[in-house]
Chains A and B, each alone.
Chain A
Amino acid sequence: MGSTKLEKELSNNNNNNNHMESSDMSDGSNISTDYANYSSDASSIITDNDESNGGGASLAKSNNNQINSVKEQQQPQHQVKKRSNTVVTGTTIDSNFINPDSPENKIIQEFIDKFPEDKFHFIKDKICGLDKDIIAEYCLPPRHLCNQRFEFTCDELSFIGLPMASKNPDGTWNNIKKNKQEQEEEKEENIDDDFGDDELENESQSDSELAEIKSQTTKKSQSFKAQVGDNIFVFNLVFILDPLLLEYDQRVDEMYDNVATRFAMFLRFFQQDSNYLSKEVTKILEINEQFNNNGGNFTVYNQYKKLLFKSSLCRAITKCFHRISDNKIANLVIDEDKFISLQIPIRNEFKCLPNVKIDHILKGSFLTNIENFKFLSTYKFDKQNMNGKIDDQETANGGGGVGEILNYALIFLMDPEDIINDLNNNVGENDLSTLIMTDLVKTIKPYSTLRSYKKTMQNLIQTYTNESFTDEEFVMKMLKSFVLHFIYWRQARCILPISSKNKYIVSPIGPMTGQRIDDFDTNIHYSNHIDKLPLIYSLQMEFKQQFQVLPVLSTFLTYFNGEDSFGLHIPSKDHKLMYFQGVAWCIKKGLLTQVVTFIYLRVDAKIKTSVEEDLEKEGNKSSDNVLSDSIEDMGDTESLLSIDSFEDVDEFTIILDPRTSTAIEKRWLYKLVQNDFKKSEQKLFYRLLKYFNGETSIEYLCVKNGISRNEINQLLKKLGKYVVKVKHW
């Protein structure tokens, strides 16, 4: 595991956090909020194996027969709830000395809100009905199985995590020699790979020996004293999930990839860096012990509050639990100044039409070939890697789409006020960024590309800094980073600019039936009383309030059939803006999907013959070779539409991708425009040729290259039967 790389990554995270931290406390995003099913029963425990503390259930991690202790910090569970009316007195130990606005208090307050004392009864030493000790024991795999995915399922409960073992055999985490880091890394990897053979046997033997000792040691577990210097050999931040069986793989993978691994690596880094975990664990143990000794006077509830107040680790875990189970973004702080931001990306963006009958996808998801998540993916974990071992290398082309992002328009998914609120609520936010972003939220409209806001950006920077920025690249980079911020925080999406020439359809995955976006029941079970309108009718109400000039939503939606430009339905110039706003609103609700056109070229026998004749005229051997070669090639891929037909004499061959076409195919393509085309048309043809492969829509081409649609349409018209148009999203 490359610690240098990791360091970079983490510091990247920190940087990002400086201006990415925002909507933390908000309930704003209408996409993310109520999809509680997502991981609602996730909880996290951290178990760690702390050498020399003596006691607790244990699994041995090293050859010396020292007894290891295991502690866990667990989140209260929904499953744990039992009705209990016991009201405990003396609960306000914290309120006397905490600033109500402090981050500590916010988390404690949230904890109190979410788990009101009089409604939840916390059972000591149990997690989901299982003994803590047992869970701790089973969640600590042997050392040689650490640094790779851990997954254990017990009935419907699934325990996942990335157990981390200390780099050094003595339980210390820091790199021994910093200048030899590179070598260390190599070694490390090697060890990881062939750990299985030699060292394994020793270790596992001691394991089985210790199975016997365990039963004796658990009894002694009350008496020990934690010390800061104690070493942690292995720790595992475990997430407990109870996903639906059918969603099992997806949920578990998402949690592991996006949250568990990143959180664990984050902790490992600061354990290496500053022995953070050891310090925290010591604190936690001390507090736990206090409550053990004073048992009876204090409740588990108070213990939690104290833990949350004292330990940044506990706070981070708690916040992570709350945010992730609410499908929000968890912005975690440990040690006051170390940030990490975690989220499970919401799958609300599809390039391929999902099977809505069978796969449950959020209603109102976006059906588009403009994949916004790709803009964000700057690095990823390599899943193909053996045993799911993590690999934090940056993918070379990860941010591939970012350069293009400014060709798109930005549509805000939340109300501007909510986004601005989020921005302002931020702690530690760069002031200039906040100011500019606040203005951008008010200014940016989805009708023009982001590039066109260059002037706006320059003006804004000038207003706030009194300096004029001539460095355009810097300005655009800044804009880009703001746009990425908005997308990351699920506040906005990139779309093609809304124009009256665009064609839309009502999205086949739009919010129509059901009462919530995650309501997949085909029946609404109304009794006499109707508590919540179906999605489409709530939207219809909202639409009516916002756009009184426009027709009823149901009528408005009938305008979009994918064939007509939507401008046809705008009755007059005065209505234009209102109609644009209506369309924008429908797009952000996932009701409308833009239909775009993809172009392929095809050639017929006439062209082919003509090329053949040319070749004969040229008459040299080399071209003969070209011809025979390419015919063979065709047999494999390109000729798929030219075989088997028994009726067409003028058989067409579709050229699937001009960029990879064979020499003969290129000749065909050139032949298409050789005669009858003006120089300017030929020039445009060659410029666009590479895009005629089904990957880039002509709508995007126009925006990107600043070509007018007319110009392209004229060219296509002239190409006539040689053009195959495919229209979808």
Chain B
Amino acid sequence: MIGDSYFDDNSHFTSNENIDPIHTILYTQFHPLEGPKLIFEFPPNNLKDNNINFQDIQNYIIPKPQLCKKLLTLIYKDFRLISFPMYLKKPYYFRNVFCFNFVFIFKNDSKTVPYEPIIEKLGKMFQILEEQSQILSMSCKDMIYFKSDEQHENIDEITNENNSKSLVTKLYLDLNNYSECLIPINSGDSIDIKLFTFLSKSVKTLNSLSLEDVPLLKLDLSSINMFKKLNWDQTLLKMLPYINGVNNIYKISHLANSDLDLVVEVIKNLVYIYKICVIVDIFQFDNIYGVTNRLDSVFLKNPLLLTECQKYIVVDKVNKNSEVLLPSKKIIFQLYNSFKLTIRVKQFYKENYHYIVKNNIDLRKFVVFGCSNNIIYRVMEYPLMRDITLLYGSNLGGFTDEEYKSFDFKTRASKLKALMSNKNSLFSTGDIKLTEKEDNTKDESTEVDQLIAPKIESLSSIKKTLKKLIICLQNVDNLDRICVILEKDKSYVLDVLAEIGEYDTVNM
């Protein structure tokens, strides 16, 4: 698990660490004679202690029917009141209606998004419970809520007169302490609410995450015990082991055997709703990085961040007993400052090999820390065609049928095939040496071998790749993304690109 150590030292998960606590929970009803009424608040006296005047807020808490069954938020002084007021119309109620509302109060600056689906769910659950057994209206032991002539047989069944009170208390304590609550209501029903239970719909419209993006968790979710996770989203559970700061989204969906779109949805929730996930790029020796203004304006001047960095980027201990010396801060700064747009990681590694090894720096972690803290940034490579009619047709409105036919896929593919087999034969005779000399461990070199020297492809598969690549180019995808989509390595992609036409690789 990477990503936990520098964001969060004691990497066990409690709600306080990433989700803002609830300030107060209120349970309110509309009293037929007295109007909006505060039945219970927890913690007790919190309204008064914080100068929250119920009279000021009552109209927003027990609102007009038109505003019921909607998620309402009111900013009142320094607080944010969120609720989902319910309005039940039944002939047996006094005035034929019963209104209730569980109101959650937060500090104004809290991140309340994770709570919103829960608050809505809670309202809806109690609507059903109330319809079934008048659990709320009867708990007050005050028959004022009903028409006098109605007889209720099950009035005796309600044993706990403080039903709503104990419920609010438990909600507050459990959600704040454990980010979950399981409250049995009666023999059949229970309230089972946890954060992470519901995926928020509000991120549906965001489509900025891409296949090649690598999610990196800021919290170690895997250390939370399974019992707590029972209720979590299934896709999240399946993919959790594979979110490690190395795998990209595409790979995660493969490894977890989950639908790609679902994986993206979950990641979006982790990123935007729970804010416990950052996105980094695929680490490759061919990458280019540049420094950002934060290198000196923040990193250099923030001893805490420097210390975090030291701890994070150090190589893993070989065995648990051996002590590894932390890299020096001076070296770290100097190393980050030597990233340039004109050099790739492999060259960077070569030039600084001495420092990196001597200081026990794990290069990948070093880069990941730099990127996720915005000290350095990944420079993306975009292949751009010089002649855009090659991508969009001569009138730039897309290929006409004729143009499409005349774009000779077959000839290009066979040329490519010749090129590939030529390269292959060179490979087998060993004329081409590994480009990455530093990686001279056996394992990696064989892996590279396989990548660069794929089995000789059929013409039709090359043609397919060509077509896919054109779509990527029309979309202005960067090389990372193209490689993931085509499932090919970079040099292969560049070969195919050259076959399509003249291009430039713009680094941005």
Residues of A within 8 A of B (CB): 59, 130-131, 134, 137-138, 141-142, 145, 149-155, 158, 196, 200, 204-205, 207-208, 211, 244-246, 351-353, 355, 357-358, 360, 369, 386-387, 505-508, 510, 512-513, 520-524, 526, 528-531, 533-537, 540-541, 552-555, 557-558, 561-563, 598, 600, 637, 640-648, 651-652, 654, 656, 694, 724, 726-729
Q: List 13 A-B contacts (CB under 8 A).
A: A205-B55, A208-B35, A352-B293, A360-B208, A506-B506, A510-B508, A537-B384, A561-B342, A563-B341, A637-B303, A641-B329, A648-B330, A726-B296
Write out the residue numbers on chain B whose beta carbons fall within 8 Å of the beta carbon of A149: 75
Write out the residue numbers on chain A whose beta carbons fall within 8 Å of the beta carbon of B471: 526
Given known pairs A505-B290, A521-B207, A540-B388, the reply for A561 and B507 (CB within 8 Å) is: yes
A562 touches B341 (CB 8 A): yes
Interface string of B383-402 (1 = CB under 8 A from A): 01110100111001110000
Write out the residue numbers on chain A whose beta carbons fall within 8 Å of the beta carbon of B465: none
Q: How far is the CB of B66 from chain A (nearest CB, A)?
A: 5
Q: How far is the CB of A659 from chain B (nearest CB, A)?
A: 14
B475 touches A211 (CB 8 A): no
**Majority SS at the chain B contact face:** mixed
Write out the residue numbers on chain B whose beta carbons fall within 8 Å of the beta carbon of A536: 382, 384, 476
B396 touches A530 (CB 8 A): yes
Given known pairs A528-B398, A561-B342, the reply for A153 and B306 (CB within 8 Å) is: no
Write out the residue numbers on chain B whose beta carbons fall within 8 Å of the beta carbon of A644: 310, 326, 328-329
Nearest B-chain residue to A693, judged by Cβ: B296
B436 within 8 Å of A (CB atoms)? no
With the chains together, A158 CA to B82 CA distance in Å?
13
A508 touches B475 (CB 8 A): no
Write out the residue numbers on chain B whose beta carbons fall within 8 Å of the beta carbon of A555: 386, 504
Of A150, A351, A534, the most chain B CB neighbours within 10 A belong to A534
With the chains together, A244 CA to B333 CA distance in Å?
39
Nearest A-chain residue to B372, judged by Cβ: A355
Given known pairs A134-B67, A204-B55, A352-B374, the reply for A656 and B300 (CB within 8 Å) is: yes
Given known pairs A369-B293, A554-B384, A562-B290, the reply for A200 and B506 (CB within 8 Å) is: no
Given known pairs A540-B384, A726-B295, the reply for A138 and B67 (CB within 8 Å) is: yes
With the chains together, A510 CA to B377 CA distance in Å?
14
Q: For chain B residues 35-70, which have a beta carbon within 8 Å of chain A? A: 35, 51, 53, 55-56, 58-60, 63-64, 66-67, 70
Nearest B-chain residue to A728, judged by Cβ: B293
With the chains together, A642 CA to B330 CA distance in Å?
7
Name the contact of B507 in the complex, choosing from A506, A534, A694, A727 (C-beta under 8 A).
A506
Of B391, B477, B507, the most chain A CB neighbours within 10 A belong to B507
Residues of B within 8 A of A (CB): 35, 51, 53, 55-56, 58-60, 63-64, 66-67, 70-78, 113, 200, 202-203, 205-210, 213, 271-272, 278-279, 290-297, 300-301, 303, 306, 310, 325-326, 328-331, 333, 337, 340-342, 358, 374, 377, 379-380, 382, 384-386, 388, 391-393, 396-398, 471, 474-477, 481, 503-508
Name the contact of B75 in the complex, choosing from A151, A244, A352 (C-beta under 8 A).
A151
With the chains together, A207 CA to B53 CA distance in Å?
13
With the chains together, A533 CA to B391 CA distance in Å?
10
Name the contact of A357 in the complex, choosing from B63, B75, B208, B385 (C-beta under 8 A).
B208
Q: How far is the CB of A582 from chain B (nearest CB, A)?
A: 15
Name the contact of A554 in the complex, choosing from B63, B208, B342, B386 (C-beta under 8 A).
B386
Write out the residue numbers on chain B whose beta carbons fall within 8 Å of the beta carbon of A196: 51, 53
Name the contact of A130 in the complex, choosing from B66, B202, B205 (C-beta under 8 A).
B66
Write out the residue numbers on chain B whose beta carbons fall within 8 Å of the beta carbon of A651: 330
Nearest B-chain residue to A207, judged by Cβ: B55
Write out the residue numbers on chain A whose beta carbons fall within 8 Å of the beta carbon of B475: 513, 523-524, 526, 534
Name the contact of B328 in the complex, choosing from A369, A520, A530, A645 (C-beta under 8 A).
A645
Of B272, B330, B505, the most chain A CB neighbours within 10 A belong to B330
B505 touches A353 (CB 8 A): no
Write out the residue numbers on chain A whose beta carbons fall within 8 Å of the beta carbon of B35: 208, 211
Besides A508-B380, A535-B476, A540-B384, 12 other CB < 8 A contacts? Answer: A138-B60, A204-B55, A352-B292, A522-B207, A522-B481, A526-B398, A637-B303, A646-B325, A648-B330, A654-B300, A694-B297, A728-B290
Name the contact of B377 in the complex, choosing from A353, A524, A528 (C-beta under 8 A).
A353
B325 touches A729 (CB 8 A): no
With the chains together, A357 CA to B67 CA distance in Å?
37
B474 touches A155 (CB 8 A): no
Write out the residue numbers on chain B whose beta carbons fall within 8 Å of the beta carbon of A151: 73-75
Name the contact of B374 in the complex, choosing from A208, A353, A520 (C-beta under 8 A).
A353
A522 touches B72 (CB 8 A): no
Write out the residue numbers on chain A whose beta carbons fall within 8 Å of the beta carbon of B71: 153-155
With the chains together, A326 CA to B74 CA distance in Å?
28
Write out the residue numbers on chain A whose beta carbons fall within 8 Å of the beta carbon of B66: 130-131, 134
A352 touches B56 (CB 8 A): no
Name the contact of B392 in the complex, choosing from A204, A353, A533 (C-beta under 8 A).
A533
A522 touches B384 (CB 8 A): no
A355 touches B374 (CB 8 A): yes
B377 touches A246 (CB 8 A): no
Q: How far is the CB of B404 from chain A (nearest CB, A)?
A: 10
B208 touches A600 (CB 8 A): no
Q: How far is the CB of B96 from chain A (nearest CB, A)?
A: 15
